[in-house]
Structure formats: structure tokens, C-alpha cells
Structure 1
Amino acid sequence: MGQRCLPRQFSFGYFLAFLTFVLTFTVSAPRVAQAQVTEFRQAVAQAAARDDDLVAFYRARNFEGIWSSNRDRARRNALMTAFAAAGDHGLPADRYDADALMAQMQAANTPAEQGRVEVELSRLFLQYARDVQTGILVPSRVDGNIHRQVPYRARLSTIQAFVQSNPAAFLRSLPPQSPEYTRLMRQKMEMERLLAEGGWGPTVGGNKLERGNSGANVVALRNRLITMGFLGRTNTQTYDDEIFGAVQRFQQAHGLAIDGTAGPGTLREVNRSVAERLRSITVAMERERWINRPRGQRHVWVNLTDFTAKIIDNDTVTFSTRSVIGANQHDRVSPEFSDVMEFMVINPSWYVPRSIITKEYLPQLQENPNSVNQLIITDARGRVVDRNAVDFTQYTQSNFPYSMRQPPSRGNALGLVKFMFPNRHNIYLHDTPAKSLFGRETRAYSHGCIRLADPFDFAYELLSPQVSDPEGFFQAELRTGRERRVDLASPVPVHLVYRTAFTQAEGPMQYRRDVYGRDGRIWNALAREGVVIRAVGG
């Protein structure tokens, strides 16, 4: 008789019934290998039944445990050690309570109880592995403008790899191995000790302090700057050159205008608590887990809160320029995502997005058909439309039938070059004629795209691996005045990120304002999951 397949409706319940049958009846069948189907294995099978990955894992092992025997001691100890340190990673420590688990294991006296504890340990191992490796939260559920493709690992292959590895080494390999994550974690633990010691001391009063000032507010500022590490020990009670320099260093580390004067904006940042900074660091660690994959030996890193775009080669910043990001309005904020830059366009045309056409330009055309005359209006077949032959008042945002384009020029909204990483958000990096905005401290003014202060130098750096004279090549194309696409020989990954706390290889911790309020929303979501700010004594 040929081999028969199991019926489609075969369920795990049938499998358990089969196990029971084997346990009850096969012991007396001398010709069939004696199956070591114990009460423990039955309990494992029952406890794993609602988790497809754990069912598959234990079934392949004939429901033998990985935590419960004496030979599994090193694996248990490694797991308990990892669970005990979960709070160091900014994870909800109560989710994997090592003490409670130890008590549960000690109280499990029967094979059935031990089987249930066995599966619970595996379930918590998988939960911890997912949390510490790729984050607690689903980014898009926290904020719809975070389009991050989190690199989740398959649960079954994770636990299979674990049992074949050195347990302590495997668990140490789970968190992001990036230098940024390591430095953030170190800073977090230092700040927790500082919080236990009382933080940075009393806050600073007043609205503005500057050179020549003296009094209690200057002393409070002095003491806070000393504790923060921006000022050496001094007894001065006057806002002197030392305090002036310390304020400049503080301003530089917080993305503020570097003028050495402690105005309202600087004092607001000076007075933020250690707990507030810890929340930013904890959020940054969660964000680092979301992007826990290789970023590219060469990549572009756009930190929206820092208003900068950088080219990074082998973890070293080789180029940096100021940027302008989307305005803090619901339809203009810059999203977060990663993609790959494939080409640049020199002397670009600006094909006006429909949202801008209908919301901004249509009302102007209805008032005056000859307004925004730097733009060419075209129909569906690309033919130029005579403005004076159209009654724009008959159209609405929903039925406007025309497109608009601005041809190449120095006054083009995209400037003289744009950098393309084609994406569904229609976001790219580009030049701009509005250069004055780069001098401002907060630079959130665009419709969502990223404007660059030094786009030509950015282009030269991108072209440097593929042409011997990148500046000469670029300028020759620019002088033609014609639109020209230039492909990158090696496409470059681009990461649009949002970090209000980030580190440097050398120098002080960096903090930025929460421009869009995203990190506040992420912290609230983490807190709901049980993440807490700790004060840890030395």
C-alpha cells in the first residue's frame, strides 16, 4: 500500500492523542522501539501547543527539554544572567523576572510542572531575543511617519541556533553590536548612577545670563556646568571667560546657536533633568534596535533633529553639511526610512507635487492666472497650457487636471542639483535658492524633502570614487544648463533617522530637541510596556 498523507484537518490535538496512545500501549510492543514519552514530555507538548514555533522546535527534539536537566545548567545560568541585565538595555525588566523564574523552577516538583516551566523559559527566551535584538515596539504603530523595516529574525531559527551555540556568547551577540549602541548603553548606566547621586543639582533661574553677570543664578549655572562636565572646578561667582567657554561647549553639544550667552533656549536645555536625558537615551537605544542591520560601508546619515546630512565611510564621517527638514505640520514633516541613492540630477526640473499645486498654487491662479509665472502648466499630454485661456475658478483640489513644472535655473525650488533614492514618499535631498534658512538654529521649513547647505561639495564627495576630478566633472555639466542624470557607480544607502540623543567617538554626549514630538510618543509607548527610568547606586 502506498504512503498516505495526513488529512488536512490533522491538528495538534490529534498528535497529543497519539502521544498518549504510544505512552499507554507501546510499552508492551517489543518490536517497536521504546519511545521515552514521559509525563514531562507530554507537559512540554501541551504547554507548547499554542505556539507554532515552539511546537516545531520541541517536536524535532522529541519534546526533550533544553533547560531542565543538570547538563543544561550553563544554559539556564546564562539566560538568568541576561534577564537580570535586561534593564541595562532599557527593556521592561519585569517582563523577564529572573528571581521569579528561579523560584518557579525550584517549586516545580512534578514532571508536569517541570515541563510547563521548560516551555515558559523558552517562550521568555524568544521574547527577550526579539526585544533586545530588534526592539520592543512596532515603529509605525507609534508614529505613522516612521517607515522603518525592522529586521526581525525568525523565532524558530533563533532558538535552534541558540541550542547549538555557547549560551552566554549567543546571548551577548543579540543586542546591536554597533559602537553607537555600546556607547549609548554606557552613557545610560553612567546617568543612572548620577541620578542616584541627586542629578545635576539645582536648576538655574532667570531668563538670560551673559558676560559680566553675577549672583545666585550665575553660581547655579556654574555648578550645573561643572557637574555636567563642561566646566572645570572654579569658585567664580561672575559670568567670566571660563563660564562663557563652558556655555559655548554646552551649546555645541546640544545643537544650539554657539554665542556663549545663556539665553532662554540655552537655559531651557541646561535645566533639563537627568531623568529627561535618560528617557532620550533609552529611546535612542530602542531606535538603534530597529535599525540593527549593516548600514553600508559608505552611507548617508540624515539626522532630522540635528538638521545635518553626513556621508559616513567605515564608521567615520567624511562629509557633513547643514540641512533643512520638513516643517512641523502634519502634511509636511519629514518621514523616517532607509533606501538607496542611485543617481543625482544636475540642473533639475522641479515637477511640483500635486498636493502643493492644489493647496498652494491653485488658489493663487484663481486670484491671478499670471501668478507663479516661474512655473510651466502642462496638460495630461505634456502640452503647455495658455494660462489666459483657462478659467481656474472652475477647478477644485479634487478635479484640477493640470501639472506644473519649473525648468532648470538658479531660482529653481530644487536649486541646481538633487540626489535621488526613489521611494514611495517622494523624498529626496536637494539644493535650494533659500540659503538664509541654514543660518537658523532650528531648520524645519520644507515640504518634507531635505535641503542641503553645501550640495555641490556633497556631490563632489559622492562622485569621488568614480571620477578623477569630481568638481571639474560636476561643474562642466552644470555649465551646460541642461538637465543631466548622473548615475552613482556604487549606489549609496541613505538613512533618514531621528535621534534626540546620540554619541560621538570622542567628546560629550549629544542631545537635540524633539522637533516633531516623536521621541516623546516613543517614550510613552515604552513606558506602557513597562520600561522605567532607574536610579542605580554605585
Structure 2
Amino acid sequence: MSKKTGIVDLSRRSLLRGAAAMSVAAIAGQAAAQTAVDELINAPRRGNWDDQFDAQASRTTAAVVSNTAMLSPTSLMNIQQAIGQYQMIVSNGGWPQVNPSVKLQLGVMDPSVQALRQRLMVAGDLPQEAGMSNSFDSYVDGAVKRFQARHGLPEDGVIGEFTLKALNIPADMRLNQLNVNFQRLQDTLAKPLENRYIVVNIPAAYVEAVESDQVALRNTAIVGRISRPSPLVSSKVSDIILNPYWTAPRSIVEKDIVPLMQKDPTYLTRNAIRLIDGNGNEVAPESVDWFAPKAPNLTFRQDPGKINAMSSTKINFPSPDGVYMHDTPTQGLFNKLMRFESSGCVRIQNVRDVVVWVLKNTPGWNRQQIERVIASRVNTPIKVADEIGVHWVYLTAWSPKQGVVQFRDDIYQLDGDAQLALQTNIGQEQASGSIDDDILPQ
């Protein structure tokens, strides 16, 4: 062995000894730190901390998320299993009502927290080892957030109006809801679905783009209000239109546009809506009698652009109701809890992501090309190369993940009990004050 080699070997041994010493020191340091934390938590004079404190409880909402499609056969099996579990819950007396005298949130001490703990335990949101106490601790906070995630509510851990109403739906009513939706899901899956499809769950107001039973995209949506409900649909995407024209349906012309023109004769011009006669000629709005007994027999067509009711994109498919999916210029509506505001069509948040997914097998239409065409403001129809199914369904209860049941409000009151439509009345009061500002610009 050469002197040089011996020096290298010695250096390696020194390095390894140093690394080992550092590792031991690090482990010892971690152990000492953990011991200090344990001592602090277990100290007899540590203050009024609840003994069920759990730093990971607030992350339990992730446990309800699944990449399995809502319309998967797995979901059908899971909801059947959930029916058995809820039958047992009902036979055991259900769960207690929660009637707090104060606002329940993290840090509160109140006798009603015991009923809340029991309610959450029965449904599986709170682990049994959390125990019973008057303290709204991090276990309860995490369980409430998990409950909210399963009910499509803001995951803030606070027992607000809608969370309390959802908590107090009786167990037998939830069991009936599961049975009704099991039948709906079974009917939907009676025929095989496409390998790639888009599903709109109307009560949940969200969209899944599905490939091989796995969710590729999940997007927030806005669906039809109760006076103009979104219909059930089973179809296939025919084409994508970038920078679409919007042609107002006859119902919107009669109910909305004519009254607006009676109040403001500049409405059509301000919103780039042109009048076209049967020969394709443009008609001046001032030549029309807007107070006539019948609305004019003309086509009302809005030019492409930022203020267009469909904004950048329209996803077309054959439908007897003439509905479609589209972009919107009023993106702020997606932040609302109650997203039942359209005239039947479905608006999709981040719809360009869905379009890229739809067109991924259509030659020449990558994201860059799609964005270039949208920026040009030129009306461009694109024929879709492969088969993409479209399914609009009405599921107020489903279970894509074993042991996790999702519930939503029965916004169209089809489940058989008005109590399940928690948000509908408030939503309609808010929506009735104005015309749909996405389908019809103001």
C-alpha cells in the first residue's frame, strides 16, 4: 500500500467517524428535545391545555380526498358498505343533536362540546380515543374540518350556521339519502362509461375529468339555480370552440333582454350583442319596437371577447336541452359557497385546463397553441379527435373512498325531505334579485 493510499484511507475513516459522531449527537439532541416536549406536556402545572391535544389532528381533512372517480364501480361498492354502516348507526339510536349556547371553535370550553364529540365519533370523524370532555381541542378541530370537507363546507373548524345544520340532520335521513343515491349511481353505471369522460355533479357544483377511473382534474363549477335547473345529461364532446359567439336562447331574450332594453336602449351595444335577421343581415337595435307584445324574431348574438358570456371557451356536446360547458368573465363567483346561479349551463373554473386535457390527443392543439388562439380573439371551432363522454349527474351522497361518505345539499329537492336542502332557500333569495350575470351580462 502506498503512502498516498494510506492517507486517503485514513481520511475516509476520519470522515466516517466524524459523520457517525454527528449522527449520534443529532439523535441525542432530538431525543432530548422530545423529552423536554413530553415533560412540558405532562407537567402538572402546564396550564389549561386539554389532554387530548394532537398536533396532527388539523391535517385529517386530507383523509377524505380520493383520486378514485365518483362514478367508479368502487364508489358503488363503497356506498353500499356505507348504507350498512348507517343502518347500524340508526338501529343504535343515531347521533345526538348539537345545541350550543356559544360559538364553538378551537379553544372554547362548553358543555355542548360533549354532544359535538359524540356526534363526530358516531359518524367516524373523531377517533374514540379523543375521549369526552367540554374542551374544543385540536382533536375536535380536526374532526370538524374533516366533517366540513365531507359536506362541501369551508374547512375552518368553526361550527357556523351551515355546519350546525348539517350536523343536526338525523341519521335516518342520511340513511335514506344514501339509499336514494345508491339507486341513482346504479342507474348511471348500468351502461359502461367511456375510458375518458367529464362528469358534472350538480349538487356538489364541481367537475371531474376522469381517465381509467382515476380523476385527472377536479374543478369548481357553477350550475343552474332551482328556477332554471341544470338537466341530467349523458352525451359525448363534439367540439371545442375557442373565442365563441354567444347566441341568447329565446327564453333569455323574452325574460331578460327585452326588459333590459326597455330600461336601457344602449344595453345591446354596450355588451357587443348584434341583432341578425333570417337572411343573415344585421339589424339596428333602434329600429326595433322593444315594447311590442312579442319579442323580435331575431337572433341575438354576442361577439367573442372578454365580456362574452362564455369568455374564452365553450365545450359542445349534443343535448336536447341545448346546454353546454363554458368559461366565464365573472371568476369571483367560484369563490361563493352557493354556486347555483346559472340558467342551466355549467361554468367551469380553470376551464382551459379541462380543454387541454380534452384535446391532448387532437393533433396540433397543445396548451401554447390554445393560448395563442384565445389571445387572437378569433372564433375557432376544433373537432375533438377521441371519444370524451359527458355526464351530468345528481348525486347528493357518494363514497369514492372506503369509509368516507360525501354529502351535499339537495338543491333541487329531489331526495324526499326538504330538510336536506340546507342552502336552497337562502341561495334563491340571493339569486332572485338579479339576472344571471354570467349567462347574461349586465
TM-score (norm 1): 0.61
Rounded to whole Å, the distance in 1 between the matches of 2:236 and 2:371 is 24
* Residue 520 of structure 1 pairs with residue 416 of structure 2: yes
Q: CA deviation at 1:468?
A: 7.2
Q: CA deviation at 1:359?
A: 0.8
Rounded to whole Å, the distance in 1 between the matches of 2:169 and 2:258 is 45
Structure 1 partner of 2:75 = 180
The structure-2 alpha-carbon separation of the partners of 1:420 and 1:521, relative to structure 1 and needing over 3 Å to count, comes to farther
Q: Which has the larger radius of gyration?
A: 1
Structure 1 partner of 2:235 = 339
Rounded to whole Å, the distance in 2 between the matches of 1:279 and 1:333 is 23
Q: What amino acid does structure 2 have at the position aligned with 1:296?
A: E
Structure 2 partner of 1:286 = 183
Per-residue CA distance 1:112-154 (angstroms, 9 max, x = gap) = xxxxxxxxxxxxxxxxxxxxxxxxxxxxxxxxxxxxxxxxxxx
Q: What amino acid does structure 1 have at the position aligned with 2:122?
A: T
Which is further off, 467-476 or 456-465?
467-476
* Residue 314 of structure 1 pairs with residue 212 of structure 2: yes
* Residue 323 of structure 1 pairs with residue 221 of structure 2: yes
Q: CA deviation at 1:369?
A: 2.3
Structure 1 partner of 2:333 = 437
8 Å CA contact 1:303, 1:309 repeated in 2: yes
- Kindly report which structure 2 residues correspond to 1:241-320, keeping only aligned pairs within 5 A, or say none: 241-291=138-188, 292-320=190-218
Equivalent of 2:393 in 483, 487, 497: 497
Instruction: Give 3-state SS (helix, strand or coil) of 2:282's partner.
Output: coil
Rounded to whole Å, the distance in 1 between the matches of 2:366 and 2:150 is 33
Per-residue CA distance 1:181-233 (angstroms, 9 max, x = gap) = 22111111111112112222344444742223221212211221122211222
Per-residue CA distance 1:305-334 (angstroms, 9 max, x = gap) = 1111111111111111000000111xx110
Rounded to whole Å, the distance in 1 between the matches of 2:77 and 2:378 is 48
Structure 1 partner of 2:45 = none
Rounded to whole Å, the distance in 1 between the matches of 2:102 and 2:258 is 44
Rounded to whole Å, the distance in 2 between the matches of 1:227 and 1:371 is 56
Structure 2 partner of 1:170 = none
* Residue 364 of structure 1 pairs with residue 260 of structure 2: yes
Q: What amino acid does structure 2 have at the position aligned with 1:519?
A: D
Q: What amino acid does structure 2 have at the position aligned with 1:311?
A: A
Instruction: Give 3-state SS (helix, strand or coil) of 2:400's partner.
Output: coil
The structure-2 alpha-carbon separation of the partners of 1:455 and 1:369, relative to structure 1 and needing over 3 Å to count, comes to same
Per-residue CA distance 1:71-127 (angstroms, 9 max, x = gap) = xxxxxxxxxxxxxxxxxxxxxxxxxxxxxxxxxxxxxxxxxxxxxxxxxxxxxxxxx
Rounded to whole Å, the distance in 1 between the matches of 2:299 and 2:181 is 41
Gaps of 5+ in 1: 1-175, 524-538
Rounded to whole Å, the distance in 1 between the matches of 2:411 and 2:418 is 13
Per-residue CA distance 1:377-419 (angstroms, 9 max, x = gap) = 222222111122232222424xx22221110001110110010
Per-residue CA distance 1:396-454 (angstroms, 9 max, x = gap) = 24xx2222111000111011001001211011100001111111112000000000011
* Residue 381 of structure 1 pairs with residue 279 of structure 2: yes
Per-residue CA distance 1:238-266 (angstroms, 9 max, x = gap) = 22222222111110000111111111100
Q: CA deviation at 1:368?
A: 3.2
The structure-2 alpha-carbon separation of the partners of 1:470 and 1:236, relative to structure 1 and needing over 3 Å to count, comes to farther
Aligned length: 345
The structure-2 alpha-carbon separation of the partners of 1:417 and 1:205, relative to structure 1 and needing over 3 Å to count, comes to same
Hey, which of these two has a bigger chunk of helix by percent?
A: 1
Structure 2 partner of 1:199 = 94
Rounded to whole Å, the distance in 1 between the matches of 2:105 and 2:207 is 32
* Residue 425 of structure 1 pairs with residue 325 of structure 2: no
Instruction: Give 3-state SS (helix, strand or coil) of 1:251's partner.
Output: helix
Q: What amino acid does structure 2 have at the position aligned with 1:511?
A: F
The structure-2 alpha-carbon separation of the partners of 1:193 and 1:507, relative to structure 1 and needing over 3 Å to count, comes to closer
Equivalent of 2:357 in 461, 474, 489: 461
Q: CA RMSD in A?
A: 2.2
Q: What amino acid does structure 1 have at the position aligned with 2:206?
A: T
Q: What amino acid does structure 2 have at the position aligned with 1:349?
A: Y
Q: What amino acid does structure 2 have at the position aligned with 1:518?
A: L
Rounded to whole Å, the distance in 1 between the matches of 2:233 and 2:276 is 32
8 Å CA contact 2:98, 2:164 repeated in 1: no
Instruction: Give 3-state SS (helix, strand or coil) of 1:302's partner.
Output: strand
Aligned-residue identity in percent: 28
Q: What amino acid does structure 2 have at the position aligned with 1:386?
A: A
8 Å CA contact 1:255, 1:512 repeated in 2: yes
Q: What amino acid does structure 1 have at the position aligned with 2:186?
A: R
Rounded to whole Å, the distance in 2 between the matches of 1:256 and 1:408 is 35
